[in-house]
Structure 1
């Protein structure tokens, strides 16, 4: 055994750069050995090739000036595929950057004591996933994400990644629990595309981005996630392309093209939706909750551009499976080529009897509280049959 470990160490190619060591590796065993001794400024290069059956946790700590970089030899040429029943990459350190990996045709499964995840940043701070691609991956159980940011870390980033034609999955999940959630996550400059409708019976579990999981009991948690300058093209996984289920988040300067779904404030409060562009598809923006700011968005070619929903309860302290839209500002949006520009009061008197657990969620079942105290002003309409409809 000792001789084998020694041989692996010898096989690992390393040399110094101006910041730290550079390790060039091609085996999981090599990476595990290197991971135990990584220092600020070190760089790990995984050689080009096809890889499977990897699972590793990296708990190293870089610094702002000297992050630890783990990257592909050539962007897109280090390809992970095959069955995944655990975390492929689980990062638990700080200032670690993952760059340039391709995850293609992976099958994510649930095992007896583990769940397949491609990348998880768990209680990390200032870690980054960039220039990675996720294409044609499939999950075998509902509500399984490819990438998770979880725990009590902060200031992590998912940047310049491509999510293409993944199946039955959530792409990126910001995990919010009673005990923990990451602060100030940035999801920027990513592309999400060609996502077919999920096969799950209730049609849920196919979001591109989900920020929070329990809007009823945990919607007041404030992760302050920042989602900006991403593109969403033909993302048809479910009715919610982006699902917001927590508070204090910002969605700005994103581009939505021909999606069968909406940007949805399913739960939570005090979020900002600004300067986004929606072109074609089945929906624009859907609002439950209080204190949201919806401004400077451009929405065209969509039947109903902005929907303010009825709820079973109101405000930030009442419990309701849906919270009525209230105290929101819908200002300076430009809406064109629509049947209805802004609908104030959708799902009136919708009856949810038997559709959710009233013991877990002590909520009325009738969606009968209309939106109230919302400011709707200075919006611009062109070729819209009904500009503002209240019901």
Structure 2
């Protein structure tokens, strides 16, 4: 059996060498030249310097895990896809690296689309900046992620001023396992209407299906499009280790169940209506987040648990059941916690079976707002400092807090925030500003 194993390994190695030796580089100057290529695993398409205005680029091919097919820019960040240029990624094991979209807008489709048949494809080191339709009510996405096991990483997206979510992970009847990481999401103004999220995972129609998407190590900088910065509309997603900096809105469990928001940083710097985490649905897990200087109240409280409809449709508010809210640090926020937020004549069903334990709250204007009487809740071991408010389940903080890496941390449990040692955004330009905490 050992001889067979060695023989198979040798054969696989020789096959890999064969494909590597036969991989080709194809310099191209327009989208038509890309479409005409007969690509094989390991091939690279190199976008040459020149006029890439009004180019509908389609990368349609099949690479392999060992030999992906790559579309890259000869001058990352300097060759601009402008006018009505778009990109479609269609196939398996495809990589797009170093593109830049600016000075234009789409007339119909998303600027960048991973198709429904895309699998293990990657968009990296790419930017979309101020790619806005002159009609601010015109709705198109900047990035649409269909397919499975696709990744968007080390990109920069900034200045979206027209209607529509910036990046959408679309669902099907199978989990997608999408990964959105190490990206810079720059300022977006308040649209004043719904549909201005930065990231949406799913839709209300697909909200009871599981997604298993991950959103991690991203910076959201003054992303103010609407109340929801990240809108979770599906099951089993993880939003972890992100920075939400002066964002007027919240990370919202809008539809679906069994998702997690953990180890994130919400820095409001007392900007008006900056918010934290809004909980709707069942078995949502909120832990080890840091929230500081948030001024939002009600739906935009640092942590808000909403009331629900009695018999909700898929696009309405479902009851909060079994939320797990533990080990969060909330500092200098106007309203640390609100239970039963959004209560009105229709939203009358209160949260139940709340676990609210081991959180640290410092200098809140309001510690906790009860719009409902809680039932079957475990509210205990929460530590408070800087308020005279007395509530069951909250006691005086005796552990020292220290200021480390610009934020308050529990002494002996300090850690370096990710943005101080992780590279965020494209490697050809620094988009992020200095992160300051008041």
TM over 0.5: yes
Check the 8 A contact 1:208/1:241 in 2, yes or no: yes
In structure 2, what is the equivalent of residue 187 of structure 1? 180
Specify every segment of 5 or more residues in structure 1 that has no aligned partner in the other structure, as ranges.
1-15, 110-114, 352-365
Tell me the distance in 2 between the aligned counterparts of 1:182 and 1:146.
22
- Hey, what does 1:300 align to over in structure 2? 292
Hey, which bits of structure 1, 4+ residues long, moved more than 6 A?
none
Alignment correspondent of 1:360: none
Aligned to 1:359: none
| Alignment correspondent of 1:288 | 280
Q: Say which SS state the counterpart of residue 84 (structure 2) adopts.
A: strand
Residue of structure 1 in register with 2:145 after alignment: 149
- Retained in 1: the 8 A contact 2:234–2:257? yes
Q: Deviations over 1:252-299 (max 9, x none)?
A: 000011011111111111001000000004101111111000000000
- Which has the larger Rg? 2
| Alignment correspondent of 1:278 | 266
TM-score by length of 2: 0.74
1:376 aligned onto 2:356: yes
Counterpart in the other structure of 2:434: none
User: How far has the Cα of 1:181 moved from its partner?
Assistant: 5.9
- SS of the counterpart of 2:209? coil
Equivalent position of 1:9 in the other structure = none
Q: Which residue of 2 aligns with 1:211?
A: 201
In structure 2, the residue corresponding to 1:31 is in which secondary structure?
A: helix
Q: CA deviation at 1:27?
A: 1.9
Task: Return the alpha-carbon distance in structure 1 between the equivalents of residues 184 and 41 of structure 2.
Answer: 30
What is the distance in 2 between the residues matched to 1:167 and 1:19? 45
Counterpart mapping for 1:152-191 below 5 A: 153-168=147-162, 169-176=164-171, 179-180=172-173, 183-191=176-184
2:308 is matched with which residue? 311
Cα 1:103/1:379, change in 2 over 3 Å: same
Deviation at 1:319, TM superposition (A): 5.1
CA contact (8 A) 2:175 2:210 kept: no
The Cα offsets for residues 2-35 of structure 1, whole Å up to 9 and x where unpaired, read as xxxxxxxxxxxxxx9746111111122211111x
Instruction: Find out whether 1:101 has 2:99 as its counterpart.
Output: yes
The answer to whether residue 189 in structure 2 is matched with residue 196 in structure 1 is yes
Counterpart CA distance in 2 for 1:335 and 1:264 is 17
Measured in 2, the distance between the counterparts of 1:380 and 1:19 equals 59
Q: Cα deviations across residues 76-120 of structure 1 (Å, max 9, x unaligned)?
A: 022111135xxx2222200000010001132122xxxxx222111
Question: Counterpart of 2:92 in 1: which secondary structure?
Answer: coil
> When the two structures are aligned, how many residues end up with a matched partner?
340
User: Is the Cα contact below 8 Å between 2:324 and 2:355 reproduced in 1?
Assistant: yes
Report what 2:30 is aligned to.
Answer: 27
Residue 399 of structure 2 corresponds to which residue in structure 1?
A: none
**1:209 shift after superposition:** 0.6
C-alpha RMSD over aligned residues: 1.9
Residue correspondence of structure 1 range 229-378 to structure 2 within 5 A: 229-280=217-268, 281=271, 282-303=274-295, 304-313=301-310, 321-349=316-344, 351=345, 366-378=346-358
CA distance in 1, matches of 2:39, 2:160: 33
Are 1:54 and 2:47 counterparts?
no
SS in 2 for 1:77: coil
1:374: how far off?
Answer: 1.3
The residue number in structure 2 matching 1:386 is 366
Q: Give the structure with the larger strand fraction.
A: 1
Q: Is the CA contact 2:308–2:349 (under 8 Å) kept in the aligned structure 1?
A: yes
**How many Å separate the matches in 1 of 2:234 and 2:139?**
17
Kindly indicate whether the alpha-carbon contact (under 8 Å) linking 2:31 and 2:58 is maintained by their aligned counterparts in 1. Answer: no
Equivalent pair of 2:55/2:84 in contact (CA under 8 Å): no
Report what 2:124 is aligned to.
130
> Secondary structure at 2:246's aligned position in 1?
strand
Q: Which runs of 5+ in 2 are unaligned?
A: 1-18, 296-300, 372-438
Mapped contact 1:144–1:205 kept (Cα < 8 A): no
Q: CA deviation at 1:310?
A: 0.4
The verdict on how the C-alpha distance between 1:319 and 1:57 changes in structure 2, with shifts beyond 3 A counting, is closer
Distance in 2 (alpha carbons) for counterparts of 1:149 and 1:41: 23
Deviations 1:222-255 (A, max 9, x none): 1111000000011111111111111110000000
User: Residue deviations 1:18-74, cap 9 Å, x none?
Assistant: 46111111122211111xx10000000001234122224333110010000001012
Alignment pair present for 1:116 and 2:104: no
CA distance in 1, matches of 2:246, 2:174: 32
